């Protein structure tokens, strides 16, 4: 008899298909946040936990909003790494990437700017700025801050208010204050909420961009060493590759095309890399 977890994982795959087709999910309104649906953001985690409520996505968002050091969070669907959705809270830079296995949100303070909030002091440069509308103007101010490695924070004052139409770049993060016509934000990878700069990691060596197909082995099976198997509702081996990348301990994978096991494609995750054998019904890959 099939286990409840099996059916939950199969439902997950069908959900992934539905989300990929429609691309829109209704969410409750949460202030100071920006949603990136069907995106994950590997790296930058300081805490993770398995959610316990029916709506793991909302539970994870609330946990981030309640924690002053949380700048972003990613939730991955239940049935992948755990029975329920897994929440990862982040306070350092992460790499936002399209991925049908989860959702991410970033607070407005790190993605846009917060209206009605200024950060006085700490300025090292300012300049007149008006880009035709308020949104374009404070985003141009953010871009200027982002492009200067000294800049940790910025404030923009809307025209029509004292000192309006000016962008202020800051290398010190002071406590925010309320103020009409003011917009302020922080640079995600440089600042921890409450002030202070993050130590910058050395840049990785440049890598040649490669298609995901470069990591695939067509018509190759990696038999054995499976620790997990799940059905995939679309004939898409890239989903199997993503499952492996997002699952702790997965070293390799094999995808069996629809019609081999049943009407679905099947993804087999492996804890080690078996010896490859020729098989025209499968595609396999190794996680570097």
Residues counted in the chain: 288
Q: What distance lies between CA 225 and its chain's CA centroid?
A: 30
- For residue 20, being part of any structural domain is answered with no
- Domain boundaries, position 258: 212-286
pLDDT attached to residue 159:
93
Instruction: Please check whether residues 223 and 172 belong to one and the same domain.
Output: no
| pLDDT per residue as tens digits for the range 14-56 | 443 333 333 322 222 233 346 788 888 888 889 999 998 888 8
- Domain end residue (candidates: 64, 87, 106): 106
Given pLDDT bands bounded at 50, 70 and 90, which one contains residue 241? confident
Identify the CATH number of the domain in which residue 172 sits: 3.50.4.10
- For residue 162, being part of any structural domain is answered with yes
Q: What's the rounded mean pLDDT across residues 140-168?
A: 92
Instruction: Please check whether residues 216 and 278 belong to one and the same domain.
Output: yes
- For residue 229, being part of any structural domain is answered with yes
Residues 6+ apart with CB under 8 A from 55: none
- For residue 22, being part of any structural domain is answered with no
Instruction: Please check whether residues 150 and 217 belong to one and the same domain.
Output: no
3-state helix, strand, coil in the chain (%, to 5): 20, 35, 45
Instruction: Please check whether residues 63 and 126 belong to one and the same domain.
Output: no
Under 8 Å between Cβ of 110 and 127: no
Q: What is the mean pLDDT of the chain?
A: 77
Q: What's the rounded mean pLDDT across residues 246-258?
A: 87
Q: What's the rounded mean pLDDT across residues 97-107?
A: 84
pLDDT attached to residue 20:
35
Q: DSSP strand E in 147-258: where?
A: 153-157, 166-170, 177-186, 216-221, 226-232, 252-256
User: What is the number of structural domains in the chain?
Assistant: 3
- Please state whether the predicted TM-score (pTM) of the whole model is above 0.75: no
- For residue 15, being part of any structural domain is answered with no
- State yes or no: pLDDT of 156 exceeds 90: yes
Given pLDDT bands bounded at 50, 70 and 90, which one contains residue 87? very high
- State yes or no: pLDDT of 13 exceeds 50: no
DSSP 197: B
């Amino acid at each position: 008899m099939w286990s409840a977890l099996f059916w939950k994982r199969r439902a997950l795959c069908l959900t992934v298909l539905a989300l990929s087709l429609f691309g829109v999910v209704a969410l409750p309104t949460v202030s100071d946040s920006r949603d990136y649906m069907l995106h994950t953001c590997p790296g930058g985690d300081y805490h993770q936990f398995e959610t316990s409520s029916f709506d793991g996505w909302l539970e994870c968002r609330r946990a981030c909003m309640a924690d002053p050091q949380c700048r972003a969070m990613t939730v991955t669907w239940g049935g992948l790494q755990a029975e329920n959705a897994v929440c990862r809270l982040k306070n350092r830079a992460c790499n936002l990437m399209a991925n049908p296995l989860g959702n991410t949100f970033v607070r407005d303070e790190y993605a846009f700017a917060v209206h009605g909030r200024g950060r006085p002091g700490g300025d090292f440069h300012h300049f007149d700025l008006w880009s035709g509308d308020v949104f374009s103007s404070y985003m141009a101010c953010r871009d200027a801050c982002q492009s200067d490695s000294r800049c940790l924070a910025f404030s923009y004052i809307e025209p029509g208010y004292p000192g309006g139409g000016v962008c202020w770049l800051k290398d010190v993060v002071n406590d925010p204050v309320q103020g009409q016509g003011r917009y302020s934000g922080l640079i995600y990878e440089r600042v921890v909420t409450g002030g202070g700069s993050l130590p910058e990691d050395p840049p990785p060596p440049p890598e040649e961009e490669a298609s995901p197909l470069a990591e695939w082995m067509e018509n190759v099976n990696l038999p054995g060493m499976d620790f997990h198997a799940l059905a995939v509702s679309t004939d898409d081996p890239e989903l199997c590759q993503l499952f492996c990348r997002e699952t702790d301990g997965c070293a390799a994978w094999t995808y069996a095309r629809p019609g081999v096991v049943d009407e679905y494609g099947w993804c087999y995750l492996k804890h080690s890399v078996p010896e490859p054998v020729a098989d025209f019904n499968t595609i396999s890959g190794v996680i570097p």
